[in-house]
Chains A and B, each alone.
Chain A
Amino acid sequence: AQTVTQSQPEMSVQEAETVTLSCTYDTSENNYYLFWYKQPPSRQMILVIRQEAYKQQNATENRFSVNFQKAAKSFSLKISDSQLGDTAMYFCAFMKPQGAQKLVFGQGTRLTINP
């Protein structure tokens, strides 16, 4: 079974700073997807960024980028030039592309951006 671990329950940074959220996972699969989802306060969960395991290049979406280290089974999210709207719970998630395509989530990191 796959497991996902986020070791930082809470983080807090000042607006405009760069912040990195950590995620490690455990799997015996070679082909899989990794995701970061964002859950703003009282709002719906949305997908921030995804990474396919077969791709060596790290994914980037505007101010969001990942550092994917397949051998180390590490998948961190970097938020550059952080904004107040980035305040949210962030979840790291794993998915096998075959079968039911279920998401396995980490425990979450509560990120607060301070003005």
Chain B
Amino acid sequence: DVKVTQSSRYLVKRTGEKVFLECVQDMDHENMFWYRQDPGLGLRLIYFSYDVKMKEKGDIPEGYSVSREKKERFSLILESASTNQTSMYLCASKVGDSSYEQYFGPGTRLTVT
């Protein structure tokens, strides 16, 4: 089975802190994604990566950056956390173009106070 893990289930940070959310997949998937999930808005794509060191902006990249130094790991970085970044963050991965299914991690619920 594909396994996608995220470093924390719950995280509480203060405004202005630099925050790192880590995602690791164990199936050698090329593509990895970061979404945020908010009530009434569904999931919105922040950033995605289709290869090591490659990244593209999603629909809501402002205030975020990402890093993919190794194929199995995709990090989401909040350079200076703000209260409007309080949300559930979901990571997903998929095989390259040949497959349609994304596999999701359990999510990290981030609270910025």
Contacts and interface: CB of A to CB of B under 8 A. Distances in A.
Is the pairing of A and B real?
A: yes
A44 B104 contact: yes
Contact of B104 (A9, A35, A45, A107): A45
Contact of B33 (A9, A46, A97, A102): A102
Contact of B43 (A43, A46, A91): A91
Q: How large is the interface on B (under 10, 10 to 19, 20 to 34, 35 or more residues)?
A: 20 to 34
B102 interface: yes
Interface of B: 4, 31, 33, 35, 40-45, 48, 50, 56, 58, 90, 92, 94, 97, 100-102, 104-107
23 contacts: A9-B40, A33-B100, A44-B4, A44-B104, A44-B105, A44-B107, A45-B90, A47-B102, A50-B100, A50-B101, A91-B43, A100-B48, A101-B94, A102-B33, A103-B45, A103-B102, A105-B35, A105-B43, A105-B44, A106-B42, A107-B40, A107-B41, A108-B42
Give the top 10 A-B pairs by smallest Cβ distance, nearest first. A45-B104, A105-B42, A105-B43, A107-B42, A44-B106, A108-B42, A44-B104, A47-B101, A106-B42, A33-B100
User: By DSSP majority rule, is chain B's interface helix, strand, loop, or mixed?
Assistant: strand
Contacts of B43: 91, 103, 105
